Amino acid sequence: MVLIFKSLLVLLLLFVIINLAKAMFEMVKGPQADEEGNTDNNKPMSHYLGRRVLLSALAVTLLIAALLTGVIEPNSRPY
C-alpha cells in the first residue's frame, strides 16, 4: 500500500513539472497566427498553470489523508 501511494505521489509531482514546462513553452512561444490570422488555436498558459495548482493541491491533500489514516508516518526526529 505504501509503495502504491509513493508511486502515485511521484507521478503527481512529475505531472506538475510537465505542466509547468508546458506553461513555460507557451509563455516563450507567444501567440502565433495561422494561415487565416486566428491566434486562438492553442491553449493559454493559464490552462497549464491551473492544472499545476490543481495537481499540487491534490498531492498535498493525499499526503494529509495518508498521514491521518496511518498509511505513512512522519519522521519523529528530523535531525
Q: Are 32 and 68 in contact (CB under 8 A)?
A: no
Query: Is pLDDT larger for residue 41 or for residue 74?
Result: 74
Q: For 28-58, what is each residue's pLDDT tens digit? A: 886 666 566 566 556 788 888 999 999 999 9
Per-residue confidence band for 8, with pLDDT thresholds at 50, 70 and 90: very high
Contact 12, 58 (CB under 8 A): yes
pLDDT at 38: 62
* pLDDT recorded at residue 79: 76
**Distant-in-sequence, close-in-space partners of 12: CB < 8 Å, separation ≥ 6:** 55, 58, 59, 62
The mean pLDDT of the chain is 86
Residue 74 has pLDDT above 90, yes or no: no
Largest pairwise CA distance in the chain:
63
